[in-house]
Structure 1
Amino acid sequence: MAFGGALFAGVRQSATASGATAADRQITLVRFTGPAGFARGLGAGVRPGPDGLVLHKPTSTRAYADPAAGGASAVYEMGSWTSGVITNRFRLTELIASWNVDTPGKSWVEVEVRGVDETGLRTGWFVLGRWCRNDPDQGGAIYRTSLDDQGTDIATVWTDTLATRGTHTLNDLELRINLMRPQGSSDSPVVHQLTALCSALPGDETVPVSTPGPGVGRALAVPAYSQELHVGQYPQWDNGGEAWCSPTSTAMVLDYWKRGPSAAELAWVEPMQDPQVAYAARNTFDYTYDGCGNWPFNTAYAGRNGLRGFVTRLRSLREAEVLIAAGIPLITSVSFQADELDGAGYSTNGHLMVLRGFDAQGNPMMNDPASHLIADNAQVPVTYDRQQFENAWVPHSGGTVYVIHPEGMALPSAPDGNW
């Protein structure tokens, strides 16, 4: 749910409730990519191209007034693709969509979802994001944004997460992506991948520590960047580096894969120390949430230069080890008090950091962009206690991670359908 705020000092008593087992955590990921993937849905004015789904013959027009651009209305041609009905083995309480889309020229996309509640009532469409790779100052169409005030009695959207209300649950989901371009233009978005993370998780405040497995002793060479080096820079994007944990983590993983922005793309950044961090902040910023911590906006930004990214949830570090063993670092979403994660030196109500490996005892080796609140890249690598970290991560964000990998790379088999 869009973490990435300021860090703060302080302590409180640790939670003591008994933990649920990993088997109690209902999670599945549905992916649509390539001709076969998009054949599992219905297009209107779109068709699969060699690189992804594109506009072909738009079926309608739509006026859109960009709230971050002063509300002036522009008319766009539109086509759409709607998935087949997604029926899970469980009824979900949360859904997060992710997408990898190129938006050349003045094109952009809107991602929506609807479902059926436990009484058989179909909801209306909920908007999960309006997205463009570049903001208008960079030549793009719109300022990327989530959408507030969509709540109904059944569900609402918390920035990037569809969440049911009360005892309501959903199943029989449909995803829809609307492809836009200016009226009379030949521009078209290119949709490479669309995913839906569906989950129903227990409310336990703690989880039992998992048993170390295939990632033990594996360390990935992820570069280390401190968000603290960027404090006060570019305050128009979430007040600068103090709140840039998510884009800083994303920048680290892009550079691990050697797929970060080019020197020409970084030319506007001042100062030039680790300029890819400020670039990532600008290109993940959500102009309604007013921050850089929108989870799918980060994986959408990462889906460039031959990379693919998506948001999912893991049940434990044992599942994370499978991906680490395959050479894939993970960006984890955590929350903790200073006395709950030894060695961190701060508290946070929402923070992102990179999982880059495990030591010989199975403790997670992290690149923590908070760097103990010290403005020094050398302070970023840190090893945390396995049980403490697992409890800062799994109960608080549901085990949320960004998975970013090269296009065409075969992912290892998921233990239970969540990547």
Structure 2
Amino acid sequence: MTSSTPRRSVLAAALAAAAATAAGSAAPASAATPATSAARPGKPGTGKPSLVDNQAWTSYTDWRCGAGSGTHAVAGRRPGLVIGAPKGRTDYTDPHTQKTSTWEYATWISPVHRSHVPATEVIASWNAAAPAGTWIQVELQGTYSDSTATPWYVMGRWAAGDGDIKRTSVDDQSDGKSSIWTDTFSIDDAASGLRLLSYRLRLTLYRTPGTKLTPTVWRLGAMASEVPDRFTVPASTPGLAKELDVPRFSQNVHAGQYPEYDNGGEAWCSPTSSAMIIKYWGRGPTAADLAWVDPSYIDPEVDHAARFTYDYQYEGCGNWPFNAAYAATYKDMSAVVTRLSSLNDLETLIRAGIPAITSQSFLKTELTGAGYGTSGHLMTVVGFTADGDVIANDPASPNDAAVRHVYKRAEWENIWLRTKRYNASGGVSSGTGGVCYLYWPAHPTPAQKRALAAVGIR
């Protein structure tokens, strides 16, 4: 009733088996025991080493510092990268339509970024406009702690629409040391101590040959992380009582609608959450954009978000970077996928007026008042009560009016931040370790900019 079968469960099962063979114990991919290393920089004033490294290229100088071939950096209020004189032409056979088309293309490779966190996982995200007749590909290549290099991994082939190519993740990418699981680079055997120390990203911009069309990329980056192996996480001390006026959308009112997008609304927790925050910021699809939706459906922007976040390989709407990229297609919006360390981080954001979409999994008995259990679900945190409990717009609700929930702080914080959990069968599954999506205006207020910086986002 919440989300489609999450790739996190598949990832956990596969990598637990690999770890059991290699190290004699089962350890989910997101549940890595950190290798011994020197103390790493932490959040200012906390004295705690950081578990997350966020890097992004966004400025005119950033785009000029990369190695471009056929690309051009553009200045202005929102600097970006576009196709200049194309590098060449190439054929692409869409695996989901079997259609082969010829495209002009240009490339840009970022400078090498050395993460301050020796990482077990990396998730890329990007903000771009891709008008009809254009699309982009994002790749990652890194260096391991044993001084060897990864191959170039495809992190996503993305189009804002679905008429030119079908946006897709790419399966079956591995070098025997790491693998790509839908949208996540993951070390295969974290218990071995192997880590990714640095990486660079490659953008390829595509357009219809003979035109002057171009995608425009405003932001490209990645979140590298090394989250400890943990079943439980102690609750943080409450520090804020505030609630944001975020619109409330239920995914369940869309059950059965457009089953070609992951069987309809019962699996649409991620695009439903995205639609809530996009509307909160005063953005969203126009009436013309929504003309394809059955006019009898309420909240048609949810159907629209599902269609335009759908990953044709994953066969679902829960691809994290695709949701962030969708949000950033709206005027002057920025978006990233990251991890946060505690509810105090969410309080920092809420104080500045920034809600967050969080990913968690839990048994029915683990979250009082939810009334369901899930192997993977997204909800929107909109505030905190005077007692410090979490106010969440939970899309797994029977109707829009029922979406607002108050969840106990300690329960909610644990199911969100843990990396290992016991599933309904008594086995061990993975948790997301504090994953969230953040959407905010491309030109934030000073208070919003400070709040984002406090959680590692620039």
TM-score by length of structure 1 reads 0.91
Quote the residue 1:379 is aligned against: 402
Deviations 1:194-249 (A, max 9, x none): 12101011110110111112xx2110000101101000000000000000000000
Quote the residue 2:441 is aligned against: 406
Quote the residue 1:128 is aligned against: 155
Q: Answer 1 or 2: higher relative contact order, Cα 8 Å, separation at least 6.
A: 1
Quote the residue 1:103 is aligned against: 130
Residue 415 of structure 2 aligns to a residue whose secondary structure is: helix
Quote the residue 2:84 is aligned against: 56
Match 1:365 to one of 388, 391, 395: 391
Q: Choose 407-416 or 235-244, whichever is displaced more.
A: 407-416
- Residue 398 (structure 1) shift: 1.5
Q: In the alignment, is the contact (CA less than 8 A) between 2:345 and 2:455 conserved in 1? A: no
Q: Counterparts of 2:228 and 2:50 in 1: how far apart (Å)?
A: 7
Q: In the alignment, is the contact (CA less than 8 A) between 1:114 and 1:123 conserved in 2? A: yes
Q: Counterparts of 1:246 and 1:96 in 2: how far apart (Å)?
A: 17
- Residue 362 (structure 1) shift: 1.1
Quote the residue 1:300 is aligned against: 325
- Residue 126 (structure 1) shift: 0.3
Residue 243 of structure 2 aligns to a residue whose secondary structure is: coil
Deviations 1:314-370 (A, max 9, x none): 011111111110000100001000000000000000000000001101111000000
- Residue 383 (structure 1) shift: 0.6
- Residue 418 (structure 1) shift: 5.1
CA RMSD of aligned residues (A): 2.0
Q: Counterparts of 1:122 and 1:229 in 2: how far apart (Å)?
A: 47
Q: In the alignment, is the contact (CA less than 8 A) between 2:273 and 2:395 conserved in 1? A: yes
Corresponding pairs, count: 397
**Percent of counterpart pairs with the same letter?**
43
- Residue 311 (structure 1) shift: 0.5
Report runs of 4+ in structure 1 exceeding 6 Å deviation: 19-22
Q: Counterparts of 1:63 and 1:357 in 2: how far apart (Å)?
A: 49
Residue 247 of structure 1 aligns to a residue whose secondary structure is: helix
Amino acid at match of 1:82: I
Quote the residue 1:310 is aligned against: 336
Q: Counterparts of 2:145 and 2:281 in 1: how far apart (Å)?
A: 43
For structure 2, the residue ranges without an aligned partner over 5 or more in a row are: 7-30, 35-41, 419-430
Quote the residue 1:269 is aligned against: 293
- Residue 37 (structure 1) shift: 2.5
Residue 67 of structure 1 aligns to a residue whose secondary structure is: coil
Q: Counterparts of 1:407 and 1:415 in 2: how far apart (Å)?
A: 17
Match 1:76 to one of 99, 103, 106: 103
Q: Counterparts of 1:299 and 1:361 in 2: how far apart (Å)?
A: 31
Residue 104 of structure 1 aligns to a residue whose secondary structure is: coil
Q: Choose 396-405 or 243-252, whichever is displaced more.
A: 396-405
Q: Counterparts of 1:418 and 1:212 in 2: how far apart (Å)?
A: 22
Matches for 1:216-295 after TM superposition, within 5 Å: 216-270=240-294, 271-295=296-320
Amino acid at match of 1:409: P
Quote the residue 1:189 is aligned against: 215
Q: In the alignment, is the contact (CA less than 8 A) between 1:117 and 1:154 conserved in 2? A: no
Amino acid at match of 1:366: A
Residue 197 of structure 1 aligns to a residue whose secondary structure is: strand
Quote the residue 2:15 is aligned against: none
Q: Counterparts of 1:72 and 1:123 in 2: how far apart (Å)?
A: 30
Deviations 1:177-209 (A, max 9, x none): 110112222111100111210101111011011
- Asked if residue 356 in structure 1 is aligned to residue 382 in structure 2, the reply is yes
- Residue 72 (structure 1) shift: 2.0
Residue 88 of structure 1 aligns to a residue whose secondary structure is: strand
- Asked if residue 417 in structure 1 is aligned to residue 456 in structure 2, the reply is yes
Matches for 1:340-355 after TM superposition, within 5 Å: 340-355=366-381
Quote the residue 2:414 is aligned against: 391
Quote the residue 1:13 is aligned against: none
Q: Assess, with a 3 A threshold, how the Cα gap between structure 1 residues 315 and 105 changes in structure 2: closer, same or farther.
A: same
Amino acid at match of 2:61: A
Amino acid at match of 2:175: T
- Residue 412 (structure 1) shift: 2.0
Q: Counterparts of 1:223 and 1:183 in 2: how far apart (Å)?
A: 42
Residue 163 of structure 1 aligns to a residue whose secondary structure is: strand
Q: Counterparts of 2:66 and 2:340 in 1: how far apart (Å)?
A: 27
Q: In the alignment, is the contact (CA less than 8 A) between 1:116 and 1:170 conserved in 2? A: yes
Deviations 1:140-172 (A, max 9, x none): x21100000001212111100010111321112
Quote the residue 2:93 is aligned against: 65
Residue 256 of structure 2 aligns to a residue whose secondary structure is: coil
Amino acid at match of 1:164: I
Q: In the alignment, is the contact (CA less than 8 A) between 1:28 and 1:416 conserved in 2? A: no
Q: In the alignment, is the contact (CA less than 8 A) between 1:135 and 1:144 conserved in 2? A: yes
Match 1:85 to one of 112, 115, 122: 112
Q: Counterparts of 1:83 and 1:378 in 2: how far apart (Å)?
A: 46
Quote the residue 1:202 is aligned against: 228
Q: Counterparts of 1:73 and 1:268 in 2: how far apart (Å)?
A: 26
Residue 280 of structure 1 aligns to a residue whose secondary structure is: helix
Quote the residue 1:5 is aligned against: 4
- Residue 39 (structure 1) shift: 2.9
Deviations 1:31-57 (A, max 9, x none): 111202223322111011245110001
Q: Counterparts of 1:284 and 1:314 in 2: how far apart (Å)?
A: 23
Q: Counterparts of 1:149 and 1:403 in 2: how far apart (Å)?
A: 29
Q: Counterparts of 1:6 and 1:196 in 2: how far apart (Å)?
A: 24
